[in-house]
Amino acid sequence: MTFIPPKPLSIQLQSCAKTFADGTRVLEPLDLNINAGETLVLLGPSGCGKTTTLRLIAGLEQPDAGGKVLFDGEDVTQQSIEARNVGMVFQSYALFPNMTVAENVGYGLRIRKLPAAEQRARVAEMLAMMRIEALADRHIDQLSGGQRQRVALARALAVRPRALLLDEPLTALDAQLRDALRVEINLLLRRLGITTIYVTHDQTEAMTLGDRIIVMSHGRVAQTGTPREIYHQPASAFVANFIGTMNRLRGEMKADGFACAAGLLRWAGAPTASSELLFRPEDVRIMAEGEAFDLAGTVAAAFFLGDRTRLFVDVGDAQPLVVESLARCTLEVGQPVRLQVDPRGLLDL
Amino acid sequence: MILLFMPAALFFVAFFVLPMCRLFLVGGSGPTGWAAYAAILTNDGYFNALLATLGIAAATTLATLLISSIAGVFLQRHKFPGNATLVAMLTLPLAFPGVVIGFMVIMLAGRQGLIGAVSEALSGDRLVFAYSLAGLFMGYVYFSIPRTILTVMAATEKLDPRLEEAARSLGASTWRVMLDVIVPGLKPALISAGAICFATAVGAFGTAFTLATRINVLPMVIYTEFTLSANIAMAAALSFMLGAVTWLVLALARTAAGATVAAAG
Amino acid sequence: MDRKKIIFTLQLGFTLAVCAFLVVPVVLSILAGLTVNYFIGLESGLTLRWVFEVWDGYRDTIFRSVGIAMACLVITLLLGVPTAYVLARSRKRLARLIEELLVLPIAMPGLATALALIATYGALGGFRTSWAFILVGHVLFTLPFMVRSVLAVLSAIDLKTLEEGAASLGAGFRQRFFDIVLPNCRNGILAGSLMVVTLSMGEFNMTWLLHTPLTKTLPVGLADAYASLRLEIGSAYTLIFFLMIVPLLLAMQTLARPRPTRFICDDAVNDPVPETQQ
């Protein structure tokens, strides 16, 4: 492996906002600090401003007056993308239809006027790294989606960029391929140690790939943190609901716990004034006859998902609870069921 | 960006915009002054020519659209050996100048024409209509078919077959599918193709010129005013009005079809 | 099923009749140009005499037509391709407005355009009597076709993202234009070129007013021949015109034929080098 990226880059955004020509404000003033070598994921629903942020870092858009983009402390706000030396992978890959795979991968090197021999060597190295050597002379329309993705990555990395920017690179692929490529990209990024900013709306990608995740909504940052922090300590109901599934129960805090329609939840810590508690499906256990339990409910629906069974349990609240159970669970619709909730998983927001 | 566009813009302004303005002014500079612009309506001769021109253009458009729709949809939908040859034959006259078209009309309907020979053999009467409006009509249809057929075929290709399948799954017969799905789907293309057909027929000159003699359409009137009567002001006014009519038709078609109207090709 | 067959046969018959309507006069015309005496008919025998006469008498007009068509092509390429690029990358409303303006020379009758040019530049003796005068009219008429042809191709690809991709790799505007934009509209340029040449060679309405006895083009010469000479010579002249223009039209049709798209499926297990492709 001869690929040695240049010294990892740290990136800062200071008060970067973005308003489009027709007046829509897509990004509120944003301060961002990306550490050298880390993989940062920008996560959120469509229209939250994550792609705009990426494009500001890339140099494809300019921040509104007063915003600054810094690479290793150097102000690059006025620099256009051609000069920033970042590698970018677009959602639609943007591979050049008039060139072969090898020519695509080598395009950036051609621009930099590298000697022909070195260009060839670098291209070969990139193709080998992405395991697409056999595709070198193919044209773009002869490639499958997964192959195009690899070519796009190879092309972006060939120029030894200071940072790698990925705009929803896996969205266009089908589920099975996405799973496989997610792992591959993860290994690749760890091996390269290059500063990476990854934009996605898929939380599984975010959790798998990100050292840190920034959850965005309506042009603002909702929460910044590691995958575990985001998952277990969501800062708001939005974040809690965006990541994974969240159960909610309404009730009232009492002396011995949180009383709700179906029973009593054991609450650790200082009493909360909240009228609603949230918890993840995996923090709920199905108890057998005779065992202690917190809630009593009825099975409303049961879905066999292959590796597990997902139950929807009616507990007298507006929404049924989602409970993950063993694959070979035999509970049927209408049967009574007893649940216990781990107090460590309870959240009040 | 602007730099790229400059040469074309300059050319356009110098050789089209300016001359058009000049033409407009020339039109009002003759002995009758600005009244020349109203002459197209007030003068009997000109008015008749205008009616003849609009009439023949309308007739051409209807006939062409009908013929092109039937043949175009048929060729696009049914792939059989020889299909490509037929398409090639139908689009061949695409760039024939009016002169050649006029000659074709003479070949078919002139004094020695094929139609005359056939009709003489069948009924004893030699049918000769090349030098009348009927002959002109035939000529106009001749050069309009290739253009409209291409547009119809392109539009038919873009029709979503799933819409027809949905209609059939709901019980619609072939005829109803044609009326309710295909024709509405082709409507924008038909409108735009029809508009170009109309505009081209209104402004066509070469064919009428070749067939000359008794045909009284506006382009011929303009030509005679310019060359024989040296009445450039009237020629200018009439041709400007002719252009305005054409542009109006195309603009109306654009709003009706909702997309940019493509002129031929 | 029977009903469907009847409809098919009727439609086929109709289409064949239309084809005959379009093709038969062409055939008749070609024959007339090769017949010794048109009024006697085929019995008088076939000859190439008329064709040679036309060639002798009108060779320079034919070359002039070709020359003007080539010059027209060069100018429309230089003016039209950049315009198409600007339109492809511009905001919707501005692009629409410019497209509307560009269509005007086609919407206006050739007569009107020619009169306008004469009225404005007729006094410039040198310009008026040169073939450049005709060339200007031809360019006005054919430029929208070139622009539209290239624009159609450019609009079908995501030009903005491709350019951003090239920019992210360091390519400046000039490099992007020659490396990415031009190669990807090659088909549009080719189709547009054929269109321009074909239209220029066949243009009559404008040229008839713009020409002088010294700057005749092929269609103009054709009109002359019909008016003043034997029918056979006019027909032979038409034959030569067909010989020049039919190959161009056929080439245009071949280009227009859509190429079949292939779908290549991903196989997550065998990726990245599947042995077979669908």
pLDDT at B50 over 70: yes
- The domain tally of chain B equals 1
d(CA A219, CA A29): 9
Is B103 among the domain residues? yes
Average the pLDDT over each of B130-139, B232-241, C256-265 and give the range with the smallest value. C256-265
Spell out where chain A has E strands. Answer: 11-19, 25-34, 39-43, 68-71, 74-75, 86-89, 163-167, 195-200, 212-217, 220-225, 247-254, 257-260, 263-265, 276-279, 284-287, 295-304, 309-314, 321-325, 336-341
Q: What is the mean pLDDT of residues A320-343?
A: 86
Percentage of residues of chain A with pLDDT beyond 70: 98
Establish if C271 touches chain A: CB-CB under 8 angstroms: yes
- CATH classification at residue B151: 1.10.3720.10
Cβ(B205)–Cβ(C109) below 8 Å: yes
* pLDDT reported for residue B240: 85
Q: What is the mean pLDDT of residues A286-297?
A: 86
Residue entry with tokens 């695509």:
A104
Mean pLDDT of chain B: 82
Domain of B77, in residue numbers: 41-257
Q: What is the mean pLDDT of residues A301-306?
A: 88
* DSSP structural state of residue C42: G
Establish if A96 touches chain C: CB-CB under 8 angstroms: yes
d(CA B162, CA B156): 13
Q: How far is C150 from chain A (nearest CA, A)?
A: 16
Q: What is the mean pLDDT of residues A113-127?
A: 93
Q: What is the phi-psi region of residue A272: left when phi exceeds 0, alpha when psi lies from -120 to 50, beta otherwise? A: beta
Is B112 among the domain residues? yes
d(CA C218, CA C211): 11
Chains touching chain B, criterion 3+ CB pairs below 8 Å: C
Chains touching chain C, criterion 3+ CB pairs below 8 Å: A, B
Confidence of residue B264 (pLDDT cuts 50, 70, 90): very low
* pLDDT reported for residue B258: 60
* pLDDT reported for residue C106: 82
d(CA A237, CA A222): 10
Is B79 among the domain residues? yes
Establish if B240 touches chain C: CB-CB under 8 angstroms: yes
Confidence of residue A155 (pLDDT cuts 50, 70, 90): very high
* pLDDT reported for residue A175: 86
Cβ within 8 Å, pair A142-C161: no
Establish if C15 touches chain A: CB-CB under 8 angstroms: no
- Average pLDDT for runs of 10 along chain C of length 278: 81 90 86 77 76 84 91 94 90 80 82 88 83 92 90 86 93 92 89 90 89 87 80 83 84 70 57 39
Is B33 among the domain residues? no
Domain with CATH 3.40.50.300 in chain A: 11-242
pLDDT tens track for C134-168: 999 999 999 998 998 898 888 888 889 999 999 99
Is B131 among the domain residues? yes
Residues ≥6 apart with Cβ < 8 Å to A328: A309
Instruction: Name the residue among A80, A86, A144 with its Cβ closest to that of C265.
Output: A144
pLDDT at A1 over 60: no
Question: What is the crossing angle of helices C131-156 and C110-121, to 10°?
Answer: 130
Task: For the domain covering A247-345, report its CATH number.
Answer: 2.40.50.140
Domain with CATH 2.40.50.140 in chain A: 247-345
Q: How far is A283 from chain C (nearest CA, A)?
A: 33
Average the pLDDT over each of A301-315, B16-30, B121-135, C144-158 and give the range with the smallest value. B121-135
Is B146 among the domain residues? yes
Cβ within 8 Å, pair C164-A94: yes
Instruction: Name the residue among A80, A90, A142 with its Cβ closest to that of C264.
Output: A142
Establish if B256 touches chain C: CB-CB under 8 angstroms: no
Q: How far is C251 from chain A (nearest CA, A)?
A: 22
* pLDDT reported for residue A44: 93
pLDDT tens track for B180-198: 888 888 888 888 888 888 9
Mean pLDDT of chain A: 89
Cα B198 from chain centroid (whole Å): 4
Q: What is the pTM of this model?
A: 0.81
Establish if B36 touches chain C: CB-CB under 8 angstroms: no
d(CA A89, CA A80): 17
Is B162 among the domain residues? yes
Q: Which residues does chain A have within 8 Å of residue C158's beta carbon, measured at their own beta carbons?
A: 92, 94
Is B143 among the domain residues? yes
Q: Which residues does chain C have within 8 Å of residue A132's beta carbon, measured at their own beta carbons?
A: 272-273
Q: What is the mean pLDDT of residues A15-25?
A: 89
Measured between CA atoms, the residue of chain A closest to residue C274 is: A144
Q: Which residues does chain C have within 8 Å of residue B258's beta carbon, measured at their own beta carbons?
A: none
Four-way CATH pick for A11-242: 2.130.10.10, 3.90.1150.10, 3.40.50.300, 3.40.640.10: 3.40.50.300
Confidence of residue B159 (pLDDT cuts 50, 70, 90): confident
Percentage of residues of chain B with pLDDT beyond 70: 95
Cβ(A119)–Cβ(A110) below 8 Å: yes
d(CA C204, CA B15): 18
Cβ within 8 Å, pair B247-C246: no
Query: What ipTM goes with this model?
Result: 0.81
pLDDT tens track for A96-112: 988 999 999 999 999 98
Chain B residues 160-189 with a CB less than 8 Å from chain C: 174
